[in-house]
Every structure is written in structure tokens, then in C-alpha cells.
Amino acid sequence: MMKLCRTKPVWLLAVIALLAFQARLLAQEHAANGPQLFASTCGACHGSDGRSGERAPNIATRREVVSLSDADLIRIVQRGIAGTGMPAFGYLGDEKIKAIVAHLRTLQGVGAMKQLPGDPAQGEMVFFGKAACGSCHMVNGRGGFIAEDLSGYGSGHSAEDLRASILHPERKRGREESAVVVLMKDGAKLSGMIRNQDNFSIVLQANDGGIHLVSRSKVLRTEPDKALMMPGDYESRLSNKELDDLLSYLLKTGADEK
């Protein structure tokens, strides 16, 4: 009896160690299956890269999604969102859902190394100076409002994504069609970004920030406004050092926003 009592703790430790080892293996297995689980569960609607599909929106770079906590994302996957078409996947179990969210974070660039040789302080000067990004884009309440607010933009994008967006803006669909000059039948001219439109009217945000509801019956024609389009010459306009500085600034502001 005394001998059994002495050996019981050893057996308990062995069992605990075995269970812990199995739990680690299970966790590693689920983590490794994160991309596969995402592809089979989410990819059909959100796209294999999370950047939107035919039936669901972008969840890889949208700021409001990237800014959600892991707990929020897990809860959404578990319970779904009523009235939106987002179903509940609670039947997958906690470990698989966590693996899906972990892979989504990878697609979002969250937690990835985002170190560049650039200087964020110098990049801020490039943003509001030589590159003139601030004439259209805003960062933390400073800058223009015609184009996308870039506050926190870097939190959902890798350095490679940012570099491609700056050097190859033509790949970003929708921007070209939104920057227009509206020529009116009475000779008036409005320039700005189309915020909404239908068969009867155009909602235009002009360069001065004003919102104009323009009746199509009064429009002679619309033309692309090249002055508002994202410049395509940054590769020649900016040096490699200036580009690294600019990217570092955007990545830093993204990290500061989280």
C-alpha cells in the first residue's frame, strides 16, 4: 500500500505529460491546417486571399475588420452575423476556428515583420512634401479628404502591398472611374470624386469638400480627372531611400493605430 502511494504521483505526472504532448500535437495540427480550413470554409465567399469574392466582402485589408480583436473575430466565425449572409461555424469547434482566425491574421499582415531601412520621420516629410500624398489622402486628421484615409492603412498591408500600391496604382480598380470632371450643359464644370450614382443622379464630392447632387439630365458628359488620379510616376519621382522612408511612415502609422 505504501509502495503504491509512492508511485502514484509518478504515474500522474506521466499522464499529465502525455496529455500535454498530445495537446501540443493537436494544436500544431490545427495551426498547420489553418490555410486549408480558411480555403474550404471562407474562401468560396471571401476569396482565397480574403480580399473579397463574389458573395462576401474583403476581410483582409478593410480597416474595420483588421482592427477587430481576435476574440471578436472568433465570435463572428462561431456565431455568424444575422441578416448579412455570414453563417455560423460554431460546429467546427474552438481549435479549428482559432486556426482560421490565425490564418486570417496572416493574410491581414498582422504580426508579420514590417521592418524597413527607411526613416518614418523622413517618410512623413515625403508624404506631405515631395510625393504630395497629403493633398488627397489624410493621415490622423491631417491632409486631404478626396482620396482614401490612410490612417492605420499599414496595419492591414505588408510592405510589398504598399510598395505595389504606390508604384502600380493602375492595378487598383475603381479609382480611375471615380475621379471625374463633370461638364454641365450650362457650361459649368465640377471636379471631384464620385461617391454614389444611379440612372438619375451623381453624388460628387468636389475638391473643396462640398457634396453636390448632380442631376444627370443636366450633365453634358463626364471625363476622367487626371489631376485627381493616383500618380503613376513615383518610381522615377522618388529615390529608393525616399520610397523606403514613405513605406516606413505608413507602416508605423498603421502600427500606432492598433
The last residue of one of the domains, among 108, 133, 162, is: 108
In this structure, the answer to whether residues 163 and 208 fall within a common structural domain is no
The reported pLDDT for the residue numbered 113 is: 45
The reported pLDDT for the residue numbered 40 is: 85
In this structure, the answer to whether residues 194 and 103 fall within a common structural domain is no
Residue 8 lies in a domain: no
In this structure, the answer to whether residues 125 and 248 fall within a common structural domain is yes
Cα gap 151→252, rounded to integer Å: 10
The reported pLDDT for the residue numbered 10 is: 59
In this structure, the answer to whether residues 156 and 40 fall within a common structural domain is no
The reported pLDDT for the residue numbered 130 is: 94
The reported pLDDT for the residue numbered 125 is: 96
Are 38 and 32 within 8 A, CB to CB? no
Using 70 as the pLDDT threshold, list the residues of the chain that sit under it. Answer: 1-32, 54, 109-116, 155-157, 170-177, 227-228, 254-258
Host domain of residue 67: 33-108
Pairing mode of beta strands 189-197, 219-224? unpaired
Are 243 and 166 within 8 A, CB to CB? yes
The reported pLDDT for the residue numbered 4 is: 46
In this structure, the answer to whether residues 163 and 54 fall within a common structural domain is no
The reported pLDDT for the residue numbered 2 is: 44
In this structure, the answer to whether residues 95 and 46 fall within a common structural domain is yes
In this structure, the answer to whether residues 198 and 247 fall within a common structural domain is no
Distances (CA, A) of 111 to 48, 66, 68, 105: 20, 11, 14, 8
Residue 13 lies in a domain: no
In this structure, the answer to whether residues 180 and 248 fall within a common structural domain is no
The last residue of one of the domains, among 62, 80, 108, is: 108
In this structure, the answer to whether residues 126 and 189 fall within a common structural domain is no
List, for residues 108-130, the tens digit of each pLDDT value. 766 554 556 789 999 999 999 99
The reported pLDDT for the residue numbered 220 is: 93
List, for residues 87-98, the tens digit of each pLDDT value. 888 898 888 888
Cα gap 198→179, rounded to integer Å: 16
Cα gap 11→48, rounded to integer Å: 47
153: CATH: 1.10.760.10
The reported pLDDT for the residue numbered 122 is: 95
Residue 20 lies in a domain: no
Distances (CA, A) of 125 to 53, 146, 162: 37, 20, 17
Residue 246 lies in a domain: yes
Residue 156 lies in a domain: yes
Residue 163 lies in a domain: yes
The reported pLDDT for the residue numbered 19 is: 62
In this structure, the answer to whether residues 154 and 192 fall within a common structural domain is no
Residue 157 lies in a domain: yes
Report the domain count for the chain: 3
Reported residue count of the chain is: 258
In this structure, the answer to whether residues 128 and 251 fall within a common structural domain is yes
In this structure, the answer to whether residues 139 and 243 fall within a common structural domain is yes
The reported pLDDT for the residue numbered 98 is: 87
